[in-house]
Structure 1
Amino acid sequence: MRSEARTGVWFVGARGSVATTAVVGALGVSHGLAPSTGLVSELAELDPDGLTPLGNLVFGGHDISSTTLTKKAESLVAGGVVPAEILIAVAADLEAVDADVCLGHAAGEETTEEAVERLAGDIADFRRRYDLVRVVVVDVASTQPPVDDPEQLTCLDDDLPVGAVYALAAFRAGAPFVSFTPSPCLRLPVVIEAAARAGLPYAGCDGKTGETLLKSVLAPMFVMRALELRSWTSVNLLGGGDGETLSDPAAARSKTVAKRSGLDAMVGRSVPGPMHIDHVEDLGEWKTAWDHVRFDGFLGTRMTLQFTWEGCDSALAAPLVLDLVRLVSAAHAAGLSGPLPELAFFFKDPVGATEHRLSEQWRDLVAWRAGLAG
């Protein structure tokens, strides 16, 4: 018998660190093996009882990697991300999820139309096999470079970014789409038009997990205190696959644009200062950000703020991914379509929104969720 709360989660990059952590985490929390720490959707303000329970999420996805979810999870245990006892307890469930990971799309191996048709078929088949009320597709794959001339791209263009191909496939399959990466897909006219034709909601882009999260709290503080920001220098050290991807200057440009735009918007002008993203292989799943902020106080007195953020990228991102699945699922159930600007709280560069201040984003999110619940 069909369960109205049963929702599919289809990951693009299903065997990567973020997706694996999200699956293990959802299984662990739903089995009572771990607390819900980090899950915003479990806060009372967002009415968690009205959202799909974690235990009613069914996972699958696409990936071009042949590494199994179990092997990836074992590496996360070794890296101090996933507790070994949780992996042992959910090992059978994880193997079942891995069986629902299909071969992903790599640029140049098939035409865009062939890829969209094949990928959409995988998503639709997943929904039918598990008799799901809906599937939410979430892109947690590697960052892609920005697009220089988006207006010229069509759904038949074989130069379409990989993320856009997955978005088109999601919409063809009738599935809402979330871009957790800084890839440009949700701002391409061809993708926006496809979502409009399908009448589906979407959210993105680039999950706000670390340094930018702090900026969204600290930058408004300077503005509210009438302190003059002179410069804001950021140095980001990343390990793992994300760090390796961002060692490519073209891919790093997508990330730095997203990180820079929010700061400038909150302050109301361009804030000087370099921003670096460097790959440090030894960091593994962890990342470190060091920020040096110069500002003027009363009578022009020059002062400095420095802070260091050290965190585990996958453990910071995974609960937000689950939050977004539950909230986008609720939006879809309510018949919403188009961009979901009220979910800006979760993103560095929110599609459809101009608000970057965390407190204001939280206010908007809570009000939006109350409207849905009502």
Structure 2
Amino acid sequence: MNNMVTGRRKVGLWLIGARGGIATCVALGLSALRRGLIDSTGLVTALPEFQKLGLVPWGDWVLGGHEIRSTHLLDEAQDFARTNRTFDSEFVESLRSELEDVETRIRPGTVSGASPIITGLTGPEVPKNESPGEAVTRIRDDLESFRRKNELDHVVVVNVASTEPPVDAEKFPTRYDEFEAQLQRSPEGWLPPSALYAIAAMQAGCSYVNFTPSLGCNLPALDELARLQKVAYMGCDGKTGETLLKTVLAPMFRARNLRVLSWVGHNIFGNLDGKILDTPSHKQSKVATKDRVLAEILGYKPATVVTIEYLEDLGDWKTAWDHVHFSGFLGVPMVLQVIWQGCDSILAAPLVLDLARLTERAVRSGHVGLMPFLACFFKSPHGTKEHDFGKQFAQLMSWVDGLIAGGG
């Protein structure tokens, strides 16, 4: 039945990196929520404050995505369960039909402009030597086909692929017409995959969320494109663990006028993203987003060290140890130590679902362009320098309350 007749919204969630750890947990979680197999723990949009917002129910979401590896979503879910001991294989098997259904909507991604370690993961079905223009056209066609075949009112594209090396955004044209002209004539390597996906998404009229530290949508020309296409976008780098703690604890030190002398954060984990981050150029992007929040919150920059180390045996379980050396009254030095241990993809997956829901709601209210009210979900949020988690969440609630009050 036509969505206009039923009055219900049918929305697509398209994941870049569709068989990775985060995407696998998103697929499992979305399927389990529909079946009533799990509760809503971990989902921000399940809080009472969001209940009058008119968010699209889980049963009205259709999942698809792009992937460069030759594997199967069901196999990835079983391997995740076996390796990380998060849930049992029977739970995965109970959702076999849902995972196989999602698998039918996964298309070959692009490695145009990708680094050697990423291209080394590529399956035979992924096009080789694809120009940026060719990649954008193919990805856009996939997204338009997904929306058309599933009769979707809107599609939200979320990048949960592996982190790319840093890119100097200032080297690209700032006007979209100049950017588009250069895109069509440039050879492979001009833009990284995350930006190609963002362009294709916006050209297809889809919103785009960058859950990684990669370049993605962080280009002035793409802000213009988003406004031309009347879509929303936001990034970057989902805030799930150690940085989340920093943005909660640093405001405490500032409010009590305790001077932070040094802050050391060591991170160890062993999933595929960790393996990619073991490459120095890729690690540089991640360290940058984790390290910049303290100076913004404290108003000065203490001595900082951030390390990310890959240990294969840890799987998706990440341990972060933070050592904070600070000075108190009478100049007395003191120490706070915190250990955070969590399953990385399990922490991230509900936030991806939250971001998809809130992005769709923003678009439905007429919002176009950047969504700085979603800053609390990101380590390095675009469009704002506010990193204090409490203030970020207050901004989100202000937006929510405004929508509810205005009936938008």
Normalised by the shorter chain, which TM-score bucket? over 0.9
Q: Unmatched 5+ residue regions in structure 1? A: none
C-alpha distance in structure 2 between counterparts of 1:186 and 1:299, whole Å: 48
Q: Distance in 2 between matches of 1:347 and 1:27?
A: 25
The equivalent of 2:121 in structure 1 is none
Q: 1:171 aligns with which of 202, 223, 226?
A: 202
The alpha carbon displacement at 1:203 in A equals 1.1
CA contact (8 A) 1:42 1:48 kept: no
Out of 19-28 and 72-81, give the one that drifted further: 72-81
Output the CA distance in 2 between the equivalents of 1:150 and 1:121: 29
Q: How far apart are the structure 2 equivalents of 1:346 and 1:360?
A: 12
Matched, 1:183 2:183: no
Deviations 1:263-315 (A, max 9, x none): 11011111212111111111111111111110000000000011111100000
Are 1:356 and 2:387 matched, yes or no? yes
Q: Which residue of 2 aligns with 1:229?
A: 260
TM-score by length of 1: 0.97
Report the 3-state secondary structure (helix = DSSP H, G, I; strand = E; otherwise coil) of the residue aligned with 1:65.
Answer: coil
Equivalent AA in structure 1 for residue 35 of structure 2:
H
The count of residues paired between Structure 1 and Structure 2 equals 374
State TM-score, norm by structure 2.
0.89
Which residue does the alignment assign to 1:98? 103
Report the residue type matching 1:128 in the other structure.
R
Equivalent residue in structure 2 for 1:206, among 233, 237, 240: 237
Q: Per-residue deviation at 1:51?
A: 0.3
Alignment partner for residue 293 of structure 1, among 310, 318, 324?
324
* SS at 2:304 equivalent: coil
Alpha-carbon spacing, 1:89–1:2, altered in 2? closer, same or farther (3 Å): farther
Q: Counterpart amino acid of 1:2?
A: N
Q: Assess, with a 3 A threshold, how the Cα gap between structure 1 residues 33 and 201 changes in structure 2: closer, same or farther.
A: same
Alignment partner, residue 225 of structure 2: 194
Shift of 1:149: 4.9
CA–CA distance in structure 2, aligned partners of residues 162 and 150 of structure 1: 17
The question of 1:2 aligning with 2:2 is answered yes
Which amino acid in 1 is paired with 2:2? R
Give the CA deviation at 1:232: 0.2
Given that residues 112 and 135 in structure 2 are in contact (C-alpha distance below 8 angstroms), is that contact kept between their aligned partners in structure 1?
no
Instruction: Please give the residue correspondences for 1:246-265 in structure 2 after superposition, counting only pairs within 5 Å.
Output: 246-265=277-296
Q: Percent identity?
A: 45
| Alignment partner, residue 239 of structure 1 | 270
Mapping for residues 102-113 of structure 1, pairs under 5 Å: 102-107=107-112, 109-113=129-133
Give 2:144's match in structure 1, choosing from 124, 129, 138.
124
What CA deviation, in whole Å up to 9, does each residue of 1:348-371 have, x standing for no partner? 000111111111111111111122
Task: Determine if the alignment matches structure 1 residue 69 to structure 2 residue 100.
Answer: no
Q: Deviation at 1:160?
A: 0.5
Q: Displacement of 1:320 after TM fit?
A: 0.1
Query: Which range is displaced more, 187-196 or 62-71?
Result: 187-196
CA root-mean-square deviation = 1.3
Is 49-58 or 118-127 further displaced after alignment?
49-58
Alpha-carbon distance in 2 for matches of 1:165, 1:110: 11
